[in-house]
Structure 1
Amino acid sequence: MQLCQIASDFRGRVLPHGMMLEQKINGIRGLVFQGIDGITRMFTRKGYFVEGTEHILYFLAHMERLAGESMVWDGEFQVGGNRDATKHWADFGWKQGGEAGHFYLFDCLPLSSWKAGGDLTPLYERKARLQALHTAVAEDDDLHWEYRPRSRGDDSWVRSVSVVPDTWVFNSEGAISEARRIWAEDGEGVILKDVEAPYQRQRNGHFLKITRENALRWINLR
C-alpha cells in the first residue's frame, strides 16, 4: 500500500459533470502525520523524513488542534520555487541548520482513516474542511503573537502553509488550456480531480495529471 493517493496520467477524458483543477506544484510530495514513534514529521511519499520543516509542523499542529483529532496533511513541499532547490534542501541543505520551505496543502484525512487505507469522505468535503481549518489559523491575529519555542522570534511559520486554490473545467480543451497557461509561467502542470472521489492510498484515476512529460499523449486533442 502506498503512503498517499497518487495521480495517473491524463488520457483526454474529463468527467461529464466536470472536474476540480489545481496547479501541480513543482516540489516534493509531503505528508505530515504522527509516526509510530509518536513524533509528528513530514514524510516523502516513499517514507523518508523531510527535515528542517519545524515551522510548517507548528502551523499544522494548530490546525490539528482545531480539527479535534489526529490528522494526515497531504501536499507539496517546495523550497526556492522549484524542484531542484527543494531536493537540494531535502538531501543536504537542512544539515546546515535552520528551516526552509513552504507547504502547499491540497488534501487531509483523519489519521485513523489513513491507517485503514483511505477515507470515504468525498474530496469536496475534505477540501472544504482543509480550507476552513487553514483559514482559522491563518486569520487568528492573537495566535500570530504566540512565541514559537526555539524560534528566536522568527514568525515565518505564519506564512509557511497555504491551500492550493482550485477551479473547475468541463472538457479536455479547458484542462489543456489551463495546463498551457501554467507552462507559460514555467509551472509543472495541473492535476484534475474527481470531487466525489474518496481518498485511497494507491495510484488511481481519481487524480489525473497533465505535465510536460505526458503532453505528447494528448497533443492531438487541441
Structure 2
Amino acid sequence: MLRAYLDYLIDLARQQFKCTFTSIQLLAPIRQKKKFEELFTQLLPDYHVNCELDEGMAVLFNRINNMINNNQYERDRWYHALIIDCGGGTTDLTSGLFRIDNNRVSYMIALETRYENGDTNFGGNNLTYRILQMLKIRIAFEMGYIQQENIPGPENRFPYEQWDSLYRQAEQYIPTFQGLRERSREQYFFVKNNYYYLFELAEMIKSNFPVKVPL
C-alpha cells in the first residue's frame, strides 16, 4: 500500500514537472535516517533514495524561502535560527547559521547547521501529560474544588512540584486511573474514560501549538 502511494505521488510529480526522476529525497527523523533510507530503498528499488534532509532542516529551508519571496533579508547578513522539533516521542534541536546572497541569476545560500538530540522525553508523552495535568487542574478549579490563589501564575517557569500537588488534589474529584483496583467495573471504565478523554484533548492542544523559528 505504501509503495502504491509513493508511486502515485511520483507519477503526479512527473506529470507536473514534465520530467522523469532518478533520485528521491525524503524527510526523516534525525536519529532514524539510516532506517528510513533502508525502508524507502526497499520500497523504491528503481530510484536512488536519500534521507539526508530531516524535519528540522525542512522547516529552516521553508523559512529561508519565505524570507526570499517576501524580500525580508539583508544581503550578506548572517542569521541565526533555532528549530525545536517536538516529535512523537522526542524533542530534537537544530541550530542554523545562514546567509543569503542574490547574484541576479539565482540565490546563493551559505548554511551551517548543528544538531542536538535534545530531551528524549519532553517532546512526546511527557509534554502531553503536563498539558493533561493543566486541563485536569483547570476543570477542578471551574468546578470549585481548587482555589485560584493555589494555581501557579505564568511567572513560575517550572512549577512542577506545585502542579503535581494540585494534580493529586484534583484526582479526588476527577479520578484518572488511581485506585482502580478498589473500584467496581462500572467505576473502572468511568475513570479510564476520564484519562483517555483528557489525554486525547491534551494531544490535540499540543498538536496545535504554533511553530515559530526565532531569528
The structure richer in strand per residue is 1
Higher RCO, Cα 8 Å, sep 6+: 1
For the aligned pair, the TM-score class normalised by the smaller chain equals under 0.3
Q: Looking at CA atoms only, which structure, 1 or 2, has the larger radius of gyration?
A: 2
The structure richer in helix per residue is 2
TM-score of the superposition, structure 2-length normalised? 0.23
